[in-house]
A and B are shown apart, each in its own frame.
Chain A
Amino acid sequence: MSPYEAILLTIITASTPLLLAAIGELVVERSGVLNLGIEGMMVMGAVCGFAAAHVSGSAWLGVIAAIVAGIAMSLLFGLLTQTLITNQVATGLSITLLGLGLSGLIGSGFVGLPGVQLANVSIPWLSDLPYVGRLIFGQDPLVYISIALTVAVAYVLSRTRIGLIIRAVGQSHDSAHALGYRVVAVRYACIAFGGATSGLAGAYLSLVYTPQWIENMTAGRGWIALALVVFSTWLPGRLAAGAYLFGGVWILGLYAQAMGMGIPSQLLSSLPYVVTIVALVIISTNRRLSVINTPASLGQGFVPDR
């Protein structure tokens, strides 16, 4: 494998968890809900995925467990914000704090144990093509799933009725309610979808990226995914581009570190966070663009009168 292939491969591996977590949150936010609990749902996905895979020996069972864990956490969020109309920002934070704690507790018995790695796809002949073989035909399955999900979300949101309803609910829950749509149910569904993809993103970390359990192994990726959604102005195509860009920055930082160019490693490690802030500033300067796509009722609780 040539070095450029290796770099591209690692960039894709670094980007995929961001893309997975962000594509779910994009749908959640399009329905008018701001779930700041991604980090918590993701880390729960990581630990549950790792534990299930370790115990059963099957990476795919791990993936399923991670999805279930993500959904469970997201439904807690849904219960509070949709049914009990709590503040979404504070509730998202509580999901993150709870997730970080719970995952540590669950994972305390799994630290240092060998994990199960999700095998890469291997298609005879195609995967062995020079240059592009590994890159296009030899990734792990979740990479393809993340891309398929992005395409599906883009299609559903812009071309289907379900997408139209999600956008309508996010635009104005009062209007949607007046027309007879079940705002809370739509939002619950979107929140659960976001939980599933966040769990999947966590599984990616503990089953593909580094097949082991390390405490707080999400390292702020959930927050970066949130920033990506803002950066994408809620458009899936732009989101994917952003995710790969961020993954690229992350990996270039690591490579620079490995080559030891005399730059403090901490400076390189802080690169993704600095880039996130810079990206948010850049996107905010074009206010009209972000305002038009912003779901108008983002973050507001909905109480129907009875």
Chain B
Amino acid sequence: MQLILEKRPQASSLMNFLSPVLAIALTVLMGGLIFAAMGKPPLSALYIYFIDPLTSWWSIEEVLVKAGPLVLIGVGLAVCFKANVWNIGAEGQLTAGALMGAIVPIMLAEWQGPLALLAMLLLGALGGALFAFIPAWLKTRFGVNEILTSLMLVYIAQLLLDWMVRGPWKDPDGYNFPKSVSFDGWHLLPMWGDGRMHLGLVIALVAALVLFWLMRHTLKGFEISVVGSAPKAGAFAGFSQTKMVWFCFAVSGGLAGLAGIIEVAGPIGQLQPHISPNYGFTAIIVAFLGRLNPIGVIFAGILLAISYIGGEGVQIELGVSDKTTQVFQGMLLFFILTCDTLILYRLKWVSSKTKNVSAGETL
């Protein structure tokens, strides 16, 4: 007997829905095994990891605060991946957006008011988009693979941020810590709840809904899916591959940059060498787990946010490494890709009929 894949005559819409559920289940199962292997009680560890974050309003707020940037970046990447454009440098674009947006509070500190905040957000988006235009330009002009360039630029952006907060933008009264001045007044996002929830969440939700409409109902959404899945048919429809690359990098870079400025103008309140716990990379998982569908991305973003908070939880309560978060996230992407196979194929047992023939050449 041999297990083979058989192509379904039509993509299974049931599996399209079930696949993420199955992937989550497999991740939880594997997670339990890993906890057990580390000598921790698997069930209570899993409880702390996945359920505990949802049992108090305080931690739910924490989850939402983390979900905000994940959703914001994730919806942008969903558009990219749908169009077969591989921007994996969102972390760098986030950094660039934070830097650009911080021009207002750091260099124009006197300028206060709602317009200043708006300018910060717009500059943040612009910074992310401009930074994303580097790989877009290299791809469309020279044909350079965008995966490698966008990723290299992450390191460059982070080093740039490091230099800025240790050099030109270091807070003169900051006891030589690598930090910028603390933002205040209209240079911070409006907050509510217990003082953690902020405007960024609303922005993320609006972005997701707008992109959902765009993808689902407009010609642009149709263009994205055609160019991504059948480039020649895209050319036949008169859709330009080049323009699509620019569009995707503009959207995903802009949203990542926006997420960057929202983080520094929200939960963090100033520039520092590390402004993101790998949101830009985790958002890749969010995009896939959300089926590259902006509504799905909202739920996926919340789930991945739980994995951050839960990771902190198990670290505090069970003393395991905070790296469990990254392991869970990695496994999740791994399993979602595995389960996605079942959308297009079904598994089937066949009897292996191959008799012992001397195949002249087999390698």
Known: A220-B155, A223-B152, A284-B142. A98 touches B337 (CB 8 A): no
Task: Please tell me the size bucket of the interface on A.
Answer: 35 or more
Q: Is the interface of A mostly helix, strand, loop or mixed?
A: helix
For chain A residues 208-230, which have a beta carbon within 8 Å of chain B?
A: 215, 220, 223, 226-227, 230
Q: Which of B142, B155, B285, B320 has the most CB of A within 10 A?
A: B155
Query: Are B334 and A94 interface neighbours, CB within 8 A?
Result: yes
How far, in whole Å, are A94 and B282 apart by their CA atoms in the complex? Answer: 10
Instruction: Name A84's contact: one of B5, B148, B288, B321 (CB within 8 Å).
Output: B5
A269 at the interface (CB under 8 A from B): yes
The interface residues of chain B lying within 8 Å CB-to-CB of A189 are 363
Instruction: Please classify the interface of chain B as helix (H, G, I), strand (E, B), loop, or mixed, using the class held by over half of its residues.
Output: helix
Chain B contributes a number of interface residues (CB within 8 A of A) equal to: 55
CA distance A83 to B2 in the complex (A): 12
For A215, the closest partner residue in chain B by CB is B323
B155 proximity list for chain A (CB < 8 A) = 220, 270, 273
Q: How far is the CA of A121 from the CA of B277 in the complex (A)?
A: 42
Closest Cβ of chain B to A243, distance in Å, is 16
> What 1/0 mask marks residues of chain A from 123 to 141 whose CB sits below 8 Å from any chain B CB?
0000000000000000000
Cα distance A218–B285 in the bound complex, in angstroms: 22
Task: Please give me the residue from chain B that is nearest to A305 by CB atom.
Answer: B7
A163 CB to nearest chain B CB (Å): 11
Complex CA distance for A194 and B363, rounded to whole angstroms: 17
Flag if B337 contacts A303 (CB, 8 Å).
Answer: no
Contact: B363 with A273, CB < 8 Å? no
B338–A101 CB distance below 8 A: no
B337 touches A87 (CB 8 A): yes
| B327:A105 contact, CB within 8 angstroms | yes
B79 vs chain A, min Cβ distance (A): 15
Q: How far is the CB of A18 from chain B (nearest CB, A)?
A: 14
Is B225 in contact with chain A by the CB < 8 A criterion? no
In the bound complex, residues from chain A placing their C-beta under 8 Å from that of B142 are 281, 284-285
In the assembled complex, B176 has its CB within 8 A of some CB on chain A: no
With A and B bound together, what is the CA distance between A34 and B112 in angstroms?
Answer: 50
Q: CA separation between A76 and B34, bound complex, in Å?
A: 17
The CA of A230 and the CA of B152, in the complex, are separated in Å by 14
Known: A85-B341, A270-B155, A280-B148. A101 touches B333 (CB 8 A): no
- A residues sitting closer than 8 Å to B (CB atoms) are 36, 76, 80, 83-87, 89-91, 93-95, 97-102, 104-105, 108, 162, 165, 180-182, 185-186, 189, 215, 220, 223, 226-227, 230, 264, 266-267, 269-270, 273-274, 276-277, 280-281, 284-285, 287, 303, 306
In the A-B complex, the 5 residue pairs with the smallest Cβ-Cβ separation, listed nearest first, are A101-B326, A98-B330, A104-B323, A108-B321, A101-B327
